[in-house]
Amino acid sequence: MPGIVLTFPILAGKIEAWRRFCQELSGSRLQLYEASRRRLGITCERMALLETSFGSASTTTLEAPNIAQVLTELIVSARPFDRWYREQLEELHGVNLAWYEKFAQPEEPTQPREILFDWSTP
């Protein structure tokens, strides 16, 4: 299943707010969250807290048959839950997904992708 891992630093003083955000997703906003993810085609989403010597960060793993379409929809959706989710990312991580809107126009590459490194077990 295609996927992506997003890692964002958590802003200073926002760890408990980030924990509450995760609790909201699995609690009071669970139905809205599940409806959003089904509509987007997300089959798996995991959020983890990383404590590093440089500060705290979160990783979010998303899996979906069309991950590019998922990211596009997350960036541009006007649905209330999706807007709230983006607002939380900005509040907790300082990441404004609207900055990436120009990349949200899926298009076919004009040339083959250039693979610079590839490794797998024998």
Cα–Cα distance, 69 to 54 (Å, whole number) = 32
**CA–CA distances in Å: residue 49 to residues 8, 18, 58, 59:** 10, 9, 5, 7
How high is the pLDDT of residue 90?
95
Task: Assess whether pLDDT exceeds 60 at residue 106.
Answer: no
The alpha-carbon radius of gyration of the chain (Å, integer) is: 16
Residue 9, token pair as written in the block: 């630093």
In this structure, CATH architecture of domain 3-103? 2-Layer Sandwich (3.30)
Query: How confident is the model over 32-91, as pLDDT tens digits?
Result: 999 999 999 999 999 999 998 889 999 999 999 998 889 889 999 999 999 999 999 999
18-37 pLDDT tens trace: 999 999 999 999 999 999 99
Position 120 pLDDT exceeds 90: no
pLDDT confidence band for 103 (50 / 70 / 90): low
Q: Give the pTM.
A: 0.81
Query: What is the residue extent of each domain of the chain?
Result: 3-103
